[in-house]
Amino acid sequence: MLSLTLKEVIHQIQQGKICAKELCEKCIARAARVKELNAFTTETHNIAKKQASASAERQATHATLPLDGVPVAVKDNFCTKGIRTTCASHMLESFLPPYNATMVEKLLNNGACLLGKTNLDEFGMGCGSIDSIYGPVRNPWNYHFVCQSLEEAGLQLGSKESHSMTYSQLKARGIHMSAQSRSKVLRQTREAEKMTEDVHCGSDWYIAGGSSGGSAVAVASGVCFGALGSDTGGSVRNPASYCGVVGFKPTYGRLSRHGLIPLVNSLDVPGIFTRTVEDAAILFNHLGGHDVNDSTTVSDPFHKQDLPDISIKDLCIGIPKEYHSPGISEEILNAWKWAADLFEKAGAKVIQVSLPHTQYSIVCYSVLCCCEVASNMARYDGIEFGYRAENNESTEELIAASRHYGFNDVVQGRIFAGNYFLLRQNYEKYFMKAQKVRRLISEDFQKVYSKKVDILLTPTTPTEAPLYSWFSEQDNRTRTAEQDVYTQPVNMAGVPAVSVPVRLSQAGLPVSLQLIGQSFKDHDLLTVAKWFEQQVKFPRLDLSYLD
Amino acid sequence: MIAVTRITAKSSTRNLRQKLQLNNYFSSKVPDEPTWVPIDKEKLPKVPELDEATVNHLERLSLVKFNNQAGVERLYKAIEYANQLHMVDTEGVEPLDSVLENRSVYLREDKVTDGNCLKDILQNASLVVEDYFVAPPGNIPLKPVDKKSSK
C-alpha cells in the first residue's frame, strides 16, 4: 500500500478500496520503522488519525474531498495552527503559530492528513539538512537500519560482496580500462568498501540534501505520499535529487508564501515532493492560485490541468553549456549526456545554448541571500515571540543575548555578512551590484526562451548524495557554493524547474536531472517531465521489508 | 590454435561494437570539458581590514555578537567570495529586485479582516504584564566584547 503513487492512492480511496484510517495507521507504522532517518521535527500522528477518521466518515457517505485520506508532511518552516513551528532553530523551539500557512490550509481543506513537520537546516539555510537543532537528516538510500543490523548480526561481509559486484559489473560491461584507471577503480572500490563498512556500522551515512531534507526523506521512505518544502536556491530540488524523488519548484508567484517563514522573500517559493511527476501536478493543481494574503501571488486565473501524453517531436530542448561546471562528477555528466541523446533519439530538437552569467549566479545568490536574511532576521528580538534570554540589562543586550543562543553560527554569519553588504559605503558595491547581475542572469533565460527553446535540460546537483563525513568537513558556505550551482539561477529568474530521478549510480545512489521551464508554463514543464520520467523508469526505493 | 584466434577476433569485434556504442551514447550537445572562466584572484578588489570599529558597528546593527575571531574570519571569507561579482560588467544594467516587476501586484482593500486574537498573539511572548510585552531599558548601546581574549 505504501509503495503506491499519490494518484493511485487517491483513486483507491475515492473508490473505497482503501480505508483512510488503515492507510494512516500503515504510514504511522512505517514512520516508526524509519525514525532513525530523523526526517521529522514534530510528529502529529494523533492529529493525522483524527483527520483520517474524518476522511473515513466522508468515504462512508461518498462525499469525499479531492485529497481525502492522503498522508502528507510539511516542512517545519510553514506555520501550522497550534502545532509548533520551529525552523529547526532554538529561536522558535516553542513557537505556536496562531494560523495556518495558505499551503497548509489548502492541503487540509482538501482532506489531506498531516503526519508531521519535517526537519531542515536552521531557517532553511543550508544544502545538507545537517545544521538543525534536532540533528542531521539521513538519506534512506544505501542506509543500514538498526532493525536490519539486529536481524543480520554477524553478517558484516555482505557489504564487501555488494561492492566487488559493482567492480565485476564494470568488467561485465566490457569497459576497457588502462592499467592506471584499473588501479584507480580498484582503489575506489577499496575506499568504497571502507565507506560501506562505516555506513553499515552506523557511524556514517549519505546526506539527504537540503534544506528540505526531511520532506524528501519522508516521501522517499514511504512515510507519506507528498510533502511540502520551500525552495530559495534549490532547497526542494537538491534533496529530491539525492533522495530519488520528484522535486518541483513552481514559477515565483504561483504558490502562496503566506505563513511560510521567510528566508529570502524575492526568491522563496513553496515546493512539492512526490514520487512521480503526475503526483506533483495533482498537488500543484490543488495548491496553486492567487492568495489575498500574499500580494506576490499573481492574480490571473489558475487552471487545474491533467498532464497529457505528448509526442516530443516538436519540442526544442536546450543544453546550457555553462552547466558543465568544474566539480561535476563523471556519473552525473554521463547521465546528462545520455538524457540529451534520449530526447534527440525520440525526435526532439536538442541544441546547445548559452546562459553566460551562470558562473556568477551562485556569488550573486550569496550576496542577495545574506542581505535579505539580515533584514528578515531582524524580527527575532525575543520579546513578542521566540526565545528570550535571561538578560534585563538593556533592550539591546537582551536582544543580542537571545539571538546569540537562538541562532546557530550559519545564521549569525549570514546576518553579519548581509549587514556588511548593506553598509552605506558597501550598498552600491555589493547589494546593488548583485541585483544588477541578477538582471543579467534573468535575461540569459529570457533570451534562450525567445529563441524557440521550450525546456532546458541540466543536472540538478554536481554529484550524487555525498557521505556525511565528507560533507561536514567544510563549512556551510563552501558546501552551498558547490551544491547549489545548478539550482539557484532558476530562483534568480523565477522560472519553474523540476528534478527528476533518472537512474542509480555505481554506488547505488539516485542520479537526477533538472528540467527548467518558462515562467507560468508550469504544466508544460511537468508534461515534458512526465514523458521523460516514463522513458527513464527510475527504480523507486522500496522499504516494505522493514514493515 | 584456430579456436583461439576465433575467440580473439570475436572479442575484438565486440570491443569495437562497444566502443561504437559508447561513442553513440555520448551526445555532442553536452560539452566534454567544463566551460567556466578561471578567475584571477589578483584582479579582484582586496578585502579591507575588518578593524575593531567596523566589527563593533556590525555587532550593533546585527544585534548579535561575534564572540570570537572565527566569526570575523567567516565574514572575511564571505566578502572575499562576493568580490567575484566585480568580474561582471554591469554598466548600464538596472538592478532587479523582483521577477514580477512587469506585473501589477495585487493590493487588497484597506479593510480590517481579522482581529480579536489578543490571546493567540500573547501566548508566544515569554513575558507579559497586563497584556503588554515587556522590554528592559532602551537607548543603551550594546557593549562590545573583546574578540582577542575569547579564543
Same domain (yes/no): A98, A119: yes
Q: Which residues contact A398 (CB under 8 A, 6 or more apart)?
A: A381, A382, A383, A388, A389, A391, A392, B135, B136
Same domain (yes/no): A305, A219: yes
Of A299, A385, A399, the CB nearest to B124: A385
ipTM beyond 0.90?
no
At residue A169, the pLDDT reads 41
For residue A362, give the C-alpha cell: 551562485
- The rounded percent of chain B whose pLDDT value lies above 70 is 78
Same domain (yes/no): A44, A193: no
Q: Which residues contact A202 (CB under 8 A, 6 or more apart)?
A: A144, A146, A149
Q: Is A531 exposed, middle or buried (0-12, 13-18, 19+ CB in 10 A)?
A: buried
On whether residue A44 sits in a domain, the answer given is yes
Same domain (yes/no): A214, A253: yes
Same domain (yes/no): A219, A100: yes
Same domain (yes/no): A133, A215: yes
On whether residue A292 sits in a domain, the answer given is yes
At residue B26, the pLDDT reads 61
At residue B41, the pLDDT reads 87
On whether residue A148 sits in a domain, the answer given is no
Same domain (yes/no): A166, A232: no
Any idea what the CATH number is for the domain that residue A87 is in?
A: 3.90.1300.10
Q: How many CA atoms lie within 13 A of A295 on its CB side?
A: 9
At residue B143, the pLDDT reads 85
Q: Does B111 touch chain A (CB under 8 A)?
A: no
Same domain (yes/no): A172, A92: no
B70-96: average pLDDT: 96
At residue A321, the pLDDT reads 97
At residue A15, the pLDDT reads 94
Helices A358-376 + A476-483 axis angle, to 10: 140
Using a CB-CB cut-off of 8 Å, the residues of chain A touching B141 are 396
For chain A, 547 residues long, give each residue's pLDDT as a single digit of tens.
899 999 999 999 999 999 999 999 999 999 999 999 999 999 999 999 999 999 999 999 989 999 999 999 999 999 999 999 999 999 999 999 999 999 999 999 999 999 999 999 999 999 999 999 999 999 999 999 986 666 665 444 333 333 333 333 433 433 344 445 445 555 555 565 556 566 655 689 999 999 999 999 999 999 999 999 999 999 999 999 999 999 999 999 999 999 999 999 999 999 999 999 999 999 999 999 999 999 999 999 999 999 999 999 999 999 999 999 999 999 999 999 999 999 999 999 999 999 999 999 999 999 999 999 999 999 999 999 999 999 999 999 999 999 999 999 999 999 999 999 999 999 999 999 999 999 999 999 999 999 999 999 999 999 999 999 999 999 999 999 999 999 999 999 999 999 999 999 999 999 999 999 999 999 999 999 999 999 999 999 999 999 8
Torsion angle in degrees (nearest 10) through CA of A204, A210, A216, A218: 60
What residues make up the domain containing A163? 158-200
Same domain (yes/no): A92, A22: yes
> How many helices (H) and strands (E) are present in chain A, helices listed first?
19, 11
Total domain count, chain A: 2
Same domain (yes/no): A227, A90: yes
Q: Does B129 touch chain A (CB under 8 A)?
A: no
Nearest Cα of chain B lies from the Cα of A17 at a distance, in angstroms, of 41
Q: A87 near A120, Cβ under 8 Å?
A: yes
On whether residue A372 sits in a domain, the answer given is no
On whether residue A52 sits in a domain, the answer given is yes
Q: How confident is the model at residue B108 (pLDDT cuts 50, 70, 90)?
A: confident
Confidence check: pLDDT of B7 > 50: no
Using a CB-CB cut-off of 8 Å, the residues of chain B touching A417 are 74-75, 78-79, 82
**Chain B from 46 to 105: CB within 8 A of any A CB:** 57-67, 71, 74-75, 77-79, 81-82, 84-88, 90, 93-100, 103, 105
As a whole number of angstroms, the distance between CA A371 and CA B14 comes to: 59
